[in-house]
């Protein structure tokens, strides 16, 4: 079958494309901006990429058009597909029907930590010899790709609550029908599609409600919204983490199950949030037969995930890190994790781009100053697309913050604020105009 994917360079749709090739299909695709690193992965897989959404793509004669959720009405290629009555589907639905039907799906859901936790879970299963397939919204360093298809019955997927497509407003994860699911945490996010936290809880309920009695739910015991989700109706087995009745880990890394010591976790990841992400992954792996001691041992060899406190380089004694954090909670935890690793007089300069749809709307602007308090200085890039006054919102930080309106200004001010031994932590859910390389070049030039 020839599949043509609209919006192919997103992490999820790019993963779908790679799985489709692995399943034996011919795959082509298009995007408004064909960009790396996903474009490099797709081209390496032999996938033809087309810039834009021109009608000439209909001449490819695809058997099925898979529509990414970034594609909306008014897109010329989409409108032509609809006008001509050509067959189309969503990425999650295609994945469910073509790949996941005969698999034991392990889904990782939650507002924060999905990519890291799914990467950890896939690695633990791989280390244990289960050779899982996976589709993850990032690139695990242990695998170098965001998706793979294997003969194994196990498939790990990052289970996102964002909507499926322009014609299907259910959350993506309802399509996956997991037999094991991690419910990591739940907060309000995606203000562009959800009116409030209760609306997101309802989608999580749809996920849980459809799971069979023999399925296993691994749930954060400290999260009240998730408790409300389960109270709406839960028919599957439940095991807690971060609670006395289930899996726990102390700050020193000692892992226990129902109070019994299992082992000491030694891993390269920073922060309490990553301890909990790992604990959830261990709990899920154990539910499919991995020995707890093997799961703990696997983490000694876990390489992390790109764009999660990833070191991009060091110039003039200053280390530049990249992180995907874009929600206030994630920003706070990321800063705390890096702070835990820092020693001596080293300072942290946090460089933030409020870029997510929720951030562009200003929905969480009041929470931002508190989330950034752990940094020694904050440099915030206020893009023209923002609909709110960033300087006013950041005013509680006083002289601790600079708000700038160009990438070049942001680079210049950031470099002026740091000296050898410091850390620059860049946080954005986008490419941020290649700022990481520009910071390193500016640091090198002043050395």
List the beta bridge partners of residue 315: 318
Q: Cα separation of 29 and 48, whole Å? A: 6
CB 356 within 8 A of CB 429: yes
How is residue 146 written in tokens? 């965001």
What are φ and ψ of residue 38, in 5° steps? Answer: -65, -40
Tell me the two tokens of residue 9: 């360079």
Cα angle vertex 324, ends 17, 149, to 5°?
Answer: 25
Distances (CA, A) of 126 to 114, 123, 145, 303, 324: 18, 5, 14, 13, 25
Q: Which of 87, 235, 225 is nearest to 161 (CA)?
A: 225
Q: What is the 3-state secondary structure (H, E, C) of 145-164?
A: CCEECCCCCEEEEECCCCEE
Transcribe 320-382 into DSSP letters: EEEE---SHHHHHHHHHHHHHH--TT--EEEEE---SHHHHHTTTGGGHHHHTTTSSEEEEE-
Q: Alpha-carbon dihedral of residues 189, 192, 195, 196, nearest 10 degrees? A: 10
**Residue 36 pLDDT:** 67
Whole-number Å distance between alpha carbons of 342 and 271: 12
Question: Do residues 14 and 38 touch, judged by C-beta distance below 8 A?
Answer: yes
Length of the chain: 447
Place of tokens 């695998």: 143
* Closest to 275 (Cα-Cα) out of 337, 211, 324: 337
Nearest to 296 by CA among 99, 101, 131, 120: 120
pLDDT at 15: 92
| pLDDT averaged over 10-residue windows placed end to end, the chain, 447 residues | 94 93 95 77 89 95 96 96 97 96 95 90 97 90 87 96 92 95 88 83 94 96 95 95 91 90 86 89 96 95 78 90 85 86 87 83 84 92 86 90 91 92 90 88 84
pLDDT of residue 140: 81
Q: Which domains does the chain have, with CATH numbers?
A: 2-88 (3.40.50.720), 102-301 (3.40.1190.10), 310-446 (3.90.190.20)
Percent of the chain scoring above 90 in pLDDT: 65
Sheet strands side by side (includes 254-257): 147-148, 133-135, 154-158, 104-109, 180-183, 216-220, 237-241, 247-249, 254-257, 260-264
Res 35: pLDDT = 64
CA distance 69 to 72: 8
Beta-sheet strands, E only, within 159-298: 163-165, 168-171, 180-183, 216-220, 237-241, 247-249, 254-257, 260-264
């Amino acid at each position: 079958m020839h599949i043509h994917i609209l919006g192919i360079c997103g992490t999820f749709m790019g993963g779908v494309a790679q799985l489709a090739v692995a399943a034996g299909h011919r795959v082509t695709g298009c995007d408004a901006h064909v960009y790396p690193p996903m474009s490099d992965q797709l081209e390496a897989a032999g996938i033809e990429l087309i810039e834009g959404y021109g009608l000439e793509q209909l001449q490819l004669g695809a058997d099925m058009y898979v529509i990414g959720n970034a594609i909306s009405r008014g897109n010329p290629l989409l409108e032509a597909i609809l006008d001509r009555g050509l067959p189309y589907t969503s990425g999650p639905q295609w994945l469910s029907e073509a790949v996941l039907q005969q698999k034991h799906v392990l889904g990782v859901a939650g507002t924060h930590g999905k990519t890291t936790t799914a990467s950890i879970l896939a690695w633990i299963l791989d280390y244990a010899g289960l050779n899982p397939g996976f589709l993850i919204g990032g690139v695990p360093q242990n695998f170098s790709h965001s998706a793979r298809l294997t003969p194994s019955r196990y498939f790990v997927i990052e289970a996102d609550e964002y909507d499926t497509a322009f014609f299907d407003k259910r959350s993506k994860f309802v399509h996956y029908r997991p037999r094991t699911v991690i419910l990591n945490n739940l907060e309000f996010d995606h203000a562009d599609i959800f009116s409030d936290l209760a609306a997101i809880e309802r989608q999580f309920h749809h996920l849980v409600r459809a799971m069979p009695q023999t399925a296993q739910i691994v749930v954060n015991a400290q999260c009240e919204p998730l408790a409300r989700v389960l109270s709406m109706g839960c028919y599957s087995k439940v095991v807690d983490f971060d609670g006395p009745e289930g899996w726990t880990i102390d700050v020193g890394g000692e892992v226990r199950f129902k109070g019994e010591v299992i082992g000491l976790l030694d891993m390269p990841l920073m922060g309490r949030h990553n301890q909990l992400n790992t604990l959830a992954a261990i709990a899920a792996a154990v539910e499919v037969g991995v020995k707890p001691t093997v799961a703990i041992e696997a983490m000694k060899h876990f390489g992390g995930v790109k764009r999660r406190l990833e070191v991009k380089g060091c110039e003039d004694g200053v280390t530049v890190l990249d992180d995907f954090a874009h929600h206030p909670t994630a920003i706070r935890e990321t800063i705390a994790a890096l702070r835990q690793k820092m020693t001596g007089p080293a300072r942290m300069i946090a460089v933030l781009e409020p870029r997510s749809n929720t951030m562009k709307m200003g929905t969480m602007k009041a929470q931002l100053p508190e989330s950034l308090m752990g940094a020694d200085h904050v440099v915030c890039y206020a893009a023209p697309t923002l609909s709110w006054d960033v300087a006013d919102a950041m005013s509680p930080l006083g002289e601790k913050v600079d708000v700038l309106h160009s990438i070049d200004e942001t680079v210049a001010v950031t470099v002026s604020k740091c000296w050898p031994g410091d850390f620059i932590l860049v946080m954005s859910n986008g490419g941020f105009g290649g700022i990481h390389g520009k910071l390193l070049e500016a640091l090198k030039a002043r050395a």
